[in-house]
Amino acid sequence: TKELPLLGKKVVVTAGPTRERIDPVRYISNFSSGKMGYAMAEAAVSLGADTVLISGPVDLPKPAGVEFIQVESAAEMLEAVLENFDNASMVIKSAAVADYRPKEQHTQKMKKKDGDSSIELERTTDILRTLGEQKKDQILVGFAAETNDAISYGMSKLTNKNLDYIIVNDVTDPNGGFGNDTNVVTLLTGMGNQYPFEAMEKKQLAKVLLETIVADERPISDD
Ligand code: PMT
């Protein structure tokens, strides 16, 4: 129906940071609070979707009406996303996935030593790129967190990762990005349209973004 355009559709949302363990007491992560992703999940529920929220470690209450999957690392997030990909209509990747993880995970706490130290890092799997390679008729919505040339970097991520939409935020904007209750974004579509949005509460913005995507030209498949 018009009020519930995502009724009966499965929408998978990822949110929050990932944590990449160095040893049992230390990790590498980022400042994502999960607010944007949780707002996207709530927006999907409000449009009628069967919503799966795959979340890294955050301090937010679980939104009502979602199937909730807790993960820690990029590898766990990849696995959970792939398990839910086949019958999804849409995947929204709001999570700030770590691009690197320690090459070695120590099973015991690393001891201090004299002098400097360094940790060797290796790349994590790019979850969105993997989905972009595997997708059939799923709509893929990425985010891009940029500090400069946001639109052109966003555009190249849209193309390179074979996405249908990308939501670009300049994370240096004082009204947006990591941790804030508000965000300032531009939605780029695979068809070449650009929708800039004013600074808005993430909850309100998420709803407008999803409504804009749903109203966009490409029909959303049922399975
Ligand atoms: O959580 P908040 O505090 O509310 O902050 C919101 C936010 C700034 C984290 C969010 O709006 C946002 O921009 N999320 C994406 C952050 C990000 O990782 O951007 P990126 O440009 O590094 O990655 C581009 C896309 O690839 C993202 O959709 C990301 O989920 C995906 N990716 C990245 C790396 C990786 N290994 N796998 C991925 O799928």
Q: Which residues of 6-18 are buried (b: 16+ CB within 10 A; e: fewer)?
A: beebbbbbbbbbb
For the chain, give every domain's residue range: 10-105+122-215
Q: What per-residue confidence (pLDDT) applies to 3? A: 81
157 annotated to a ligand binding site: yes
CATH topology of domain 10-105+122-215: Rossmann fold (3.40.50)
Quote the pLDDT of residue 223: 55
**pLDDT digits 0-9 by tens, 189-222:** 999 999 999 999 999 999 999 999 999 865 555 5
Pocket of ligand 1 (CB under 6 A): 32-37, 74, 93-97, 99, 124, 126-128, 142-145, 157, 169, 171, 177-179, 202
Q: What angle do CA 179, 73, 84 make, to 5 degrees?
A: 95
User: In this predicted complex, what is the ipTM?
Assistant: 0.98
pTM: 0.95
Among left, alpha and beta (phi > 0; psi -120 to 50; other), residue 8 is left
For 37-51, write each residue's pLDDT tens digit. 999 999 999 999 999
Q: What is the pLDDT at residue 88?
A: 98
Residues 145-179 have pLDDT tens digits of 999 999 999 999 999 999 999 999 989 999 999 99
